[in-house]
């Protein structure tokens, strides 16, 4: 029997309107545009408005995906939402999205893998398609990082932004298209280096946790940087090796956007020329689970992906979590 593959048949993104520039950050903390650009590659990022949460951005992206593809809410079997900034601890943001869309035939859940969340969710969705358990899966990567950033902490507030992206996964019997391979990893020995300490069962919210600023992101930037460079570079080059392809065979590399310096090392290790690397960190900063679907959408809009192209996705994030996915691009649905 032929193996059923999962293919991406639709992609959409949502970026909130409010722009936070490096110049504005200079008025908030002791920093400067030159430091931020040279150390990270970031010039500005987007932030939600006061009344927007993660589900609101995801719903905007999904509505756009439905508009582009002609797929309707009732056809969706599963909604997977990769996020570390759900609307609330429970119920799942997937449930809030399901209700808002009227996706009456869907089940779904949230998945927490930080910056690698979209890759973990994509592979999970693909497995549901490959097993025959689902025919249309929405895989969302969405994060409202501004909700957990301390805008008095220059180590972290310059890095993050808010955004949502979504892909539609469907089965294809054509072996030439779809998700071809994945290499995904988790190593909890890195939990101390990047986390949001309070608000869970270990350290429930209290006046003390708020006073201690334990509901904000904490990051040991140097420690994470070292592991991120190695994790992103090895996962992206190993997946090429395992599939006996080289950088020349890749049309585009769509990496998680945490730091331009990390991306440069990974691209170099893959033997890629700079024109094959999707970079939008300058405009959006690190939007955690949203970076890869947003990047994919921009690569399509810029005409940088054609049917039959090899595309590599890679990420590294809190956990630690990291990995890569190799895709052979297939036809996208249009109305
Ligand atoms: O997406 C999830 C995974 N996360 C990542 O992959 C992020 C990985 N880490 C990084 O990208 C980098 O470590 C950062 C961008 C966070 C920091 O860059 P760095 O080159 O590692 O800088 P650093 O933390 O070593 O800081 C160097 C100096 C320090 O001053 P001293 O101790 O040398 O006097 C910092 O206090 O830069 C200072 N500094 C700043 N200066 C101006 C730290 N933040 C700022 C700032 N503006 N915003």
pLDDT in tens, 92-144: 999 999 999 999 999 999 999 999 999 999 999 999 999 999 999 999 999 99
The answer to whether 182 is a known catalytic residue is: no
Best probe residue, ligand 1, of 27, 32, 39 (max atoms within 8 Å of C-beta): 39
- DSSP H or E run through 180: strand 178-186
Of 143, 177, 211, which marks where a domain is finished? 177
User: Cβ contacts of residue 5 below 8 Å, gap of 6+?
Assistant: 129, 130, 171, 172, 173, 174, 175, 177, 178, 179, 180
Is residue 301 within 8 A of residue 280, CB to CB? The reply is no
**Is residue 37 domain-shared with residue 94, that is, in the same domain?**
yes
Domain count, the chain: 2
Nearest CA to ligand 1 atom 20: 39
Q: Does residue 157 form part of some domain?
A: yes
List the catalytic residue out of 22, 115, 182, 259: 115
Residue 161 Cα to ligand 1 middle (Å): 17
**Is residue 153 domain-shared with residue 273, that is, in the same domain?**
no
β-bridge pairing 162-172 and 178-186: unpaired
Q: Does residue 333 form part of some domain?
A: no
CA 4 and chain centroid, separation? 25
The answer to whether 256 is a known catalytic residue is: yes
Residue 44 Cα to ligand 1 middle (Å): 17
Nearest to 237 by CA among 213, 271, 198, 264: 271
Nearest CA to ligand 1 atom 16: 221
Q: Does residue 335 form part of some domain?
A: no
Q: Give per-residue pLDDT as tens, 169-196.
A: 999 988 889 999 999 999 999 999 999 9
* pLDDT number for residue 114: 98
Give the domain extent around 236.
Answer: 179-328
**Is residue 171 domain-shared with residue 31, that is, in the same domain?**
yes
Name residues contacting ligand 1 (CB within 6 A).
31, 35-36, 39-40, 115, 154-155, 158, 221-222, 224-225, 228, 258-259, 262, 286, 316-317
Q: What CATH number does residue 28 fall under?
A: 3.40.47.10
* pLDDT number for residue 2: 64
Nearest CA to ligand 1 atom 35: 155
Residue 152 Cα to ligand 1 middle (Å): 15
Q: How far apart are CA 116 and CA 322, in angstroms?
A: 6
Nearest to 294 by CA among 63, 177, 145, 140: 140
**Is residue 166 domain-shared with residue 238, that is, in the same domain?**
no
Neighbours of 43 (CB within 10 A): 17
Atom number in ligand 1 closest to CA 155: 44
Of 149, 177, 205, which marks where a domain is finished? 177
Residue 226 Cα to ligand 1 middle (Å): 12
Q: Does residue 271 form part of some domain?
A: yes
What are φ and ψ of residue 97, in 5° steps? -65, -45
* pLDDT number for residue 1: 57
* pLDDT number for residue 3: 74
List the catalytic residue out of 157, 182, 195, 256: 256
Q: Bridge partners of 323?
A: 184, 315
Residue 193 Cα to ligand 1 middle (Å): 13
Is residue 176 within 8 A of residue 3, CB to CB? The reply is no
**Is residue 173 domain-shared with residue 184, that is, in the same domain?**
no
Nearest CA to ligand 1 atom 12: 221
The answer to whether 115 is a known catalytic residue is: yes
Q: Does residue 193 form part of some domain?
A: yes
Residues of the chain with pLDDT under 50: none
Of 144, 177, 210, which marks where a domain is finished? 177
Residue 258 Cα to ligand 1 middle (Å): 12
Atom number in ligand 1 closest to CA 25: 48
Nearest to 16 by CA among 153, 121, 145, 167: 145
Q: How far apart are CA 46 and CA 51, in angstroms?
A: 15
Best probe residue, ligand 1, of 221, 228, 285, 317 (max atoms within 8 Å of C-beta): 221
**Is residue 211 domain-shared with residue 301, that is, in the same domain?**
yes
Residue 35 Cα to ligand 1 middle (Å): 9
- DSSP H or E run through 155: helix 154-157
Q: How far apart are CA 103 and CA 80, in angstroms?
A: 13
Within 184-332, residue ranges assigned H as helices are 207-211, 221-242, 260-270, 281-284, 291-301
Neighbours of 313 (CB within 10 A): 28
Q: Does residue 161 form part of some domain?
A: yes
Q: How far apart are CA 277 and CA 257, in angstroms?
A: 11
**Is residue 293 domain-shared with residue 214, that is, in the same domain?**
yes
**Is residue 13 domain-shared with residue 77, that is, in the same domain?**
yes
**Is residue 153 domain-shared with residue 33, that is, in the same domain?**
yes
User: Residue 1 corresponds to which tokens in the numbers above?
Assistant: 């029997």
**Is residue 166 domain-shared with residue 192, that is, in the same domain?**
no
Sole residue written with tokens 């996705």: 313
**Is residue 184 domain-shared with residue 242, that is, in the same domain?**
yes
Nearest to 165 by CA among 20, 77, 90, 62: 62
**Is residue 197 domain-shared with residue 168, that is, in the same domain?**
no
């Amino acid at each position: 029997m032929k193996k059923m593959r999962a293919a991406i048949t639709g992609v959409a993104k949502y970026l909130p309107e409010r722009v936070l520039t490096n110049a504005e950050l200079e008025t908030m903390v002791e920093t400067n545009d030159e430091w931020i650009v040279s150390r990270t590659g970031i010039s500005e990022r987007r932030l939600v408005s006061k009344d927007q949460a993660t589900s609101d951005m995801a719903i905007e992206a999904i509505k756009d995906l439905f508009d582009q593809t002609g797929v309707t809410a009732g056809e969706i079997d599963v909604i997977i939402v990769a996020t570390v900034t759900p609307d609330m601890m429970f119920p799942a943001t997937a449930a809030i999205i399901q209700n808002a869309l009227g996706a009456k035939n869907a089940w779904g859940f949230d998945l927490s893998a930080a910056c690698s969340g979209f890759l973990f969710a994509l592979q999970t969705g693909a497995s549901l398609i490959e097993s025959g358990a689902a025919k249309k899966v929405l895989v969302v990567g969405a994060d409202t990082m501004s909700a957990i950033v301390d805008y008095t902490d220059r180590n972290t507030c310059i890095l993050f932004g808010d955004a949502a992206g979504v892909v539609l996964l469907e089965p294809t019997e054509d072996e030439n298209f779809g998700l071809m391979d994945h290499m995904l990893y988790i190593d909890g020995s890195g939990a101390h280096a990047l986390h949001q300490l309070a608000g869970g069962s270990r350290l429930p919210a209290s006046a003390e946790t708020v006073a201690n600023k334990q509901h904000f992101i904490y990051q040991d930037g140097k420690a994470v940087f070292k592991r991120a460079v190695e994790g992103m570079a090895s996962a992206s080059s190993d997946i090429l090796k395992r599939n006996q392809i080289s950088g020349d065979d890749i049309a585009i590399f769509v990496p998680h956007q945490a730091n331009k310096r990390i991306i440069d090392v990974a691209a170099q290790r893959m033997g890629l020329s700079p024109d094959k690397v999707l970079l939008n960190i300058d405009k959006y900063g690190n939007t955690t689970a949203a970076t890869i679907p947003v990047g994919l959408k921009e690569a399509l809009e810029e005409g940088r992906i054609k049917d039959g192209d090899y595309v590599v996705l890679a990420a590294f994030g809190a956990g630690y979590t990291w990995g890569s996915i190799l895709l052979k691009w297939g036809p996208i649905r249009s109305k």
